[in-house]
Structure 1
Amino acid sequence: MSIRRPRPARLRTIAAVAVALSLAVAAGCSRADSDEAPAASADKGPATELRLGYFPNVTHAAALVGLGDNLFTKELGSTKLVPTKFNAGPEAVGALLGGSLDASFIGSGPAINAYAKSNGEAVRLIAGTTSGGAQLVVKPAITKPEDLVGKTVVTPQLGNTQDVSLKKWLSEKGLTGKVKVTNLENAATLDAFKKGDVDAAWLPEPWSSRLVLDAGAKVLLDEATLWPDGKFPTTVLIVRTQFLQEHPETVKQLLTGLVAAIDFSTKDKAAAKTLVNAQLKELTGKALQPAVIDRAFGAIDITADPVAGQFPQLAKDQVTAAIAKEAPSVAGFADLGPLNDVLTKAGQPTVDAAGLDKK
């Protein structure tokens, strides 16, 4: 059988393809072996929709005002707002990392966890919303930390902001392992406290106020006393990095609505309380008593400042609380440029990233 030899022209074509393939492979290896960061996603214009997470807590007052008074919708224009309620931070983190949520109002602890779990890639801190508003409330017979030995203390969810704060505090008081820490949804905690099934709880507002005013608890510790000037980030706003890169103007529109909600809440607290209470009634089926919402609002500072300088300490607290083996890095976590653009346009002071905007 004769063997057909390739024609010279065909040989040249094969050689050219081989060279092209080898160059492509070499280029691919070169990129893979280099330290060059992947290119950022291109701006795709306004988003079709914005899926926004929030919690039915007074510590999310700015979010509730923004939703209740349509301040977000007004600024988002053609972008459809899809609000989603969560009960605790770890649930919202799962939705963000899973891609079913674009942005969320969230506690500082879960915000750090979302950043750490994705190796600093998936989310960015873009604003604050609330400072303060968390307390350790106890049965009247408990008068000092040592009285908690053998008692049951509740936080909203394992690894959430209050859970980390409680466990860090217990560690500092030498009470780790001597106190039973359990997790319950806030409404269930109120019922359990009334029944005598739990002795104490570290809760965000309005739940600490509800235990005090509705269930006879007393405050053993206000978390604000543990921080410089009483300021610490209770609730912040984070966004998926990809969404921020692909829809920067949509993010600015959301932030414009947030700044409007914060202005509204600080300039007319009575109207803000009414809006928040109406939202809570719609979300939970029950409005707060006037004394409860008054006390809760008195415990919080509604602000766009995320108090970024406290995040390195918050990351270290996760180790003290035995939530993490080593402190998660928060370098590069903040991107406050869009917020500061919005604040500048509104004639308001900008906020400090405290170095969190650099890797």
Structure 2
Amino acid sequence: MLAAPSRRPSRHRRSTNRLAAVATAAAAAVLLAGCGSGSSSAGSSSAAPAASGAAGGTAAATLRLGYFANVTHAAAVLGVADGGFQKALGSTKLETQVFNAGPAAIEALNAGAIDAAFLGPSPAINAYAKSKGESLRIVAGATDNGASLVVKPSITSAGQLKGTTIATPQLGGTQDVALRTYLAQNGLKTQTTGGSDVDVVNQDNSQTLDLFRSGQVDGGWLPEPWASRLVIDAGAKVLVDEATLWPQKRFPTTIVVVAKGYLDAHPDTVQALLTGEVAEAGVIAQDPTAAQAKINDAIGQLTGKKLSDAVMAASFKNIQVTVDPMASTYQASGEHAVTAGLLKTAPDIQGIFDLRLLNKVLAAAGKPAVSAASLGQE
């Protein structure tokens, strides 16, 4: 994590530097890249999967999985920590890598450093579109809701955001797209839309907490538990609960993606992972209190510090653990990237979903199938 500067630099200098950085990143297909903050949490991330076998595929020697140390990744955090994922995978060795945001995880997926990841919809949509469908498939959902724009208490309306500095986890990530879309819809320009009424900075969530406390950022569009941490631990207020911006007040925050080549070669391994995820979602639903405690212990091991009971309870109140990816929302997500100034045209995402393995797992568990909303196989 970068150390917080001793004083806040002038807004003009910061905006100029960031405008140049955004322009450079956009030219290099920023939505697929990201410097990120990946760190190994189990085993090496360099091992290659077993070679493809017969037409039906073979079990892989390893599954290299990316996820975040966030409450919005509850099933992944729990499934790794309690051994549920490894148990479901059997002889396939689970190796994990922790990221701060989706674009960095997508970069690792495209580079062959990981095989699958829990991340947000926006980076997955853009990776799929830019690769013309060769990069990945969405194979399941993981969590709905659990992201908010939290700001200092003096800000009470969108108009008062003009002249402020607002943080997101990473340029092109799901919360970054949500913030930029909201600002554009309220007539406020950012570096990607020809101005900087609002200075959007991209940084690790822990850094956002520190800089908010010191007054160097005015808020952030953040996933849980970081939104609740800014409110409870640093005195912020919720200006926008993202759920209020979506039909039925639900939106996908975390999904499961798999590299297309890995999915083609090892469908049995992917199905085993999804079996583990469905089981962990069931554990969370059956005893949320016990699950929260285990997830908090795991977050403490990953980050070096457990969340307070108040933050954990508030975070869980704002999320819904589900394996349904809510496919019907994805066309809107693609359009949001255009509104945000991150894409010129709405991406073609036909075929992005492959929910066949998930629906096999659900059928075996006596649960209803989920829909691909005509955007892939189910």
> Above 0.5 in TM-score?
yes
Pairing partner for 2:230 from 211, 221, 236 = 211
Name the amino acid aligned to 2:360: D
1:116 aligns with 2:129: yes
1:149·1:178 contact (CA, 8 Å) conserved in 2?
yes
**Which moves more between the two structures, 237-246 or 186-195?**
237-246
Per the alignment, residue 147 of structure 1 pairs with: 160
Per the alignment, residue 256 of structure 2 pairs with: 237
1:67 aligns with 2:80: yes
1:308·1:354 contact (CA, 8 Å) conserved in 2?
yes
Pairing partner for 1:100 from 113, 137, 155 = 113
Per the alignment, residue 44 of structure 1 pairs with: 57
1:54·1:104 contact (CA, 8 Å) conserved in 2?
yes
SS at match of 1:181: strand
1:127-276 correspondence runs (5 A): 127-176=140-189, 177-276=196-295
Pairing partner for 2:361 from 325, 331, 342 = 342
Quote how far apart the aligned CAs of 1:250 are. Answer: 0.6
- The count of residues paired between Structure 1 and Structure 2 equals 319
1:58 aligns with 2:42: no
Quote how far apart the aligned CAs of 1:350 are. Answer: 1.0
Quote how far apart the aligned CAs of 1:326 are. Answer: 1.1
Pairing partner for 2:317 from 292, 298, 315 = 298
TM-score with structure 1 setting the length:
0.87
- Give deviations 1:270-314, integer Å, cap 9, x for gaps: 111111101111110000000000000000000000000000110
Quote how far apart the aligned CAs of 1:335 are. Answer: 0.3
1:357 aligns with 2:357: no
SS at match of 1:136: strand
Per the alignment, residue 328 of structure 1 pairs with: 347
Quote how far apart the aligned CAs of 1:43 are. Answer: 3.3
2:57·2:268 contact (CA, 8 Å) conserved in 1?
no
Quote how far apart the aligned CAs of 1:342 are. Answer: 0.2
SS at match of 1:297: helix
Pairing partner for 1:288 from 285, 307, 316 = 307
Rounded to whole Å, the distance in 2 between the matches of 1:117 and 1:57 is: 27
Name the amino acid aligned to 2:281: I
Name the amino acid aligned to 1:118: S
Quote how far apart the aligned CAs of 1:41 are. Answer: 8.6
Question: Structure 1 unaligned runs (5+)?
Answer: 1-39
TM-score with structure 2 setting the length:
0.83
Rounded to whole Å, the distance in 2 between the matches of 1:87 and 1:125 is: 20
**Deviation above 3 Å: which 4+ runs of structure 1?**
40-44
Name the amino acid aligned to 1:213: I
Quote how far apart the aligned CAs of 1:112 are. Answer: 0.8
- Give deviations 1:229-254, integer Å, cap 9, x for gaps: 11111000000111111111111100
Rounded to whole Å, the distance in 2 between the matches of 1:228 and 1:135 is: 16
Quote how far apart the aligned CAs of 1:207 are. Answer: 0.1
Quote how far apart the aligned CAs of 1:44 are. Answer: 3.4
SS at match of 1:243: helix
Rounded to whole Å, the distance in 2 between the matches of 1:230 and 1:111 is: 22
Across the aligned residues of Structure 1 and Structure 2, the Cα RMSD in angstroms comes to: 1.2
1:64·1:275 contact (CA, 8 Å) conserved in 2?
no
- Give deviations 1:154-194, integer Å, cap 9, x for gaps: 11111100000000000000011311111111000000000
Per the alignment, residue 18 of structure 2 pairs with: none
Name the amino acid aligned to 1:95: A
Name the amino acid aligned to 1:48: A
**Percent identity for Structure 1 against Structure 2:** 52
Question: Structure 2 unaligned runs (5+)?
Answer: 1-52, 190-195
SS at match of 2:134: coil
Name the amino acid aligned to 1:279: A
SS at match of 2:57: coil
1:137·1:208 contact (CA, 8 Å) conserved in 2?
yes
Name the amino acid aligned to 2:296: N
Bigger Rg over Cα? 1
- Give deviations 1:291-347, integer Å, cap 9, x for gaps: 000000000000000000000110111000001111111100000010000000000
